[in-house]
Structure 1
Amino acid sequence: MAEITLLDRLDGLDARFEEVSTLITDPSVIADQKRYVRLSKEYHDLEVIIKAKNEYKSKLDAIAESKEILSMEDDDEMKALAREELDSASAAIPELEEKIKLLLIPADPDDAKNAVVEIRGGTGGDEAALFAGDLFRMYQKYAETKGWQLTVSSVSEGAAGGYKEIVFNLTGSDVYGTMKYESGVHRVQRVPATETQGRVHTSAATVAVLPEAQEFDVEIHEGEIKWDTFRSGGAGGQNVNKVESGVRLRYNWKNPNTGVVEEILIECTETRDQPKNKERALARLRTFIYDKEHQKYLDDIASRRKTMVSTGDRSAKIRTYNYPQGRITDHRINYTVYNLGAFMDGDIQGCIDSLIVAENAEKLKAAEL
Structure 2
Amino acid sequence: MFDKLEDLLIRFEEVLNELNEPTVANNQARFQKLMKEQSDLQPIVDAYKEYKDCKQTVEDSVAMLEEESDEEMREMLKEELSDAKKRIEELERELKILLLPKDPNDDKNVIVEIRAGAGGDEAALFAAEMYRLYVKYAEKNRWKVELMNCDEIGIGGMKEVNFMITGKGAYSKLKYESGVHRVQRVPETESGGRIHTSTITVAVMPEVEEVDVVIDEKDIRIDVMRASGNGGQCVNTTDSAVRLTHYPTGIVVYSQTEKSQLQNKAKAFALLRAKLYDIEQQKAHDAEAELRRSQIGTGDRSEKIRTYNFPQGRVTDHRIKLTLYKLDSIMNGDIDELIDSLIAADQAAKLANLNEE
TM-score (norm 1): 0.82
Name the structure 1 match of 2:272: 285
Map 1:21-170 onto structure 2 (within 5 A): 44-73=39-68, 85-170=80-165
Indicate whether 1:240 and 2:236 are aligned: yes
Instruction: Indicate the larger mover: 156-165 or 101-110.
Output: 156-165
d(CA) in 1 for partners of 2:117 and 2:31? 42
Q: Is the 8 A contact 1:226 1:251 kept in 2?
A: yes
Indicate whether 1:330 and 2:317 are aligned: yes
Residue 119 of structure 1 aligns with an amino acid whose one-letter code is: I
Instruction: Indicate the larger mover: 136-145 or 297-306.
Output: 297-306
Name the Cα RMSD after superposition: 3.3
Residue 340 of structure 2 aligns with an amino acid whose one-letter code is: D
1:9-67: CA deviation from partner (whole Å, max 9, x where unpaired): 5343345556778999999xx89x8x999987666433432332222112211221232
Instruction: Indicate the larger mover: 129-138 or 84-93.
Output: 84-93
Match of 2:207 among 212, 217, 220: 212
Q: Is the 8 A contact 2:297 2:305 kept in 1?
A: no
Q: Is the 8 A contact 1:244 1:274 kept in 2?
A: yes
Residue 178 of structure 1 aligns with an amino acid whose one-letter code is: K
Compute the displacement of 1:87 (Å).
4.5
1:65-107: CA deviation from partner (whole Å, max 9, x where unpaired): 2322332356789767755653543342222111101012102
Residue 340 of structure 1 aligns with an amino acid whose one-letter code is: L
1:120-173: CA deviation from partner (whole Å, max 9, x where unpaired): 110111111111112111112111211111111010013433110011111112
Instruction: Indicate the larger mover: 294-303 or 62-71.
Output: 294-303
For residue 110 of structure 1, give the secondary structure of its aligned residue in structure 2: coil
Indicate whether 1:320 and 2:316 are aligned: no
- CA pair 134-187 structure 1, distance change in 2 beyond 3 A: same
d(CA) in 1 for partners of 2:347 and 2:269? 35
1:167-199: CA deviation from partner (whole Å, max 9, x where unpaired): 111111211111111111111111111111111
For residue 52 of structure 1, give the secondary structure of its aligned residue in structure 2: helix
Name the structure 1 match of 2:5: 10
Q: Name structure 2 gaps, 5 residues minimum.
A: none
- CA pair 355-204 structure 1, distance change in 2 beyond 3 A: same
Match of 1:351 among 333, 338, 350: 338
Q: Name structure 1 gaps, 5 residues minimum.
A: 1-5, 253-260
Compute the displacement of 1:358 (Å).
1.2
Match of 2:249 among 259, 262, 267: 262
d(CA) in 2 for partners of 1:244 and 1:331? 45
- CA pair 283-37 structure 1, distance change in 2 beyond 3 A: farther
For residue 334 of structure 2, give the secondary structure of its aligned residue in structure 1: coil
- CA pair 327-301 structure 1, distance change in 2 beyond 3 A: farther
Indicate whether 1:194 and 2:189 are aligned: yes
d(CA) in 2 for partners of 1:60 and 1:17? 21
Q: Is the 8 A contact 2:295 2:349 kept in 1?
A: no
Residue 248 of structure 1 aligns with an amino acid whose one-letter code is: R
Residue 259 of structure 2 aligns with an amino acid whose one-letter code is: R
Q: Is the 8 A contact 1:130 1:161 kept in 2?
A: yes
For residue 288 of structure 1, give the secondary structure of its aligned residue in structure 2: helix
Residue 195 of structure 1 aligns with an amino acid whose one-letter code is: E
Residue 240 of structure 1 aligns with an amino acid whose one-letter code is: N
d(CA) in 1 for partners of 2:18 and 2:211? 19
What is the percent sequence identity of the aligned residues?
47
1:184-234: CA deviation from partner (whole Å, max 9, x where unpaired): 111111111111111111111111111111233222346875544333335
For residue 152 of structure 1, give the secondary structure of its aligned residue in structure 2: strand
d(CA) in 2 for partners of 1:198 and 1:236? 29
1:246-266: CA deviation from partner (whole Å, max 9, x where unpaired): 2233455xxxxxxxx335443
For residue 338 of structure 2, give the secondary structure of its aligned residue in structure 1: helix
d(CA) in 2 for partners of 1:49 and 1:335? 30
Name the structure 2 match of 1:294: 281
Q: Is the 8 A contact 2:208 2:273 kept in 1?
A: yes
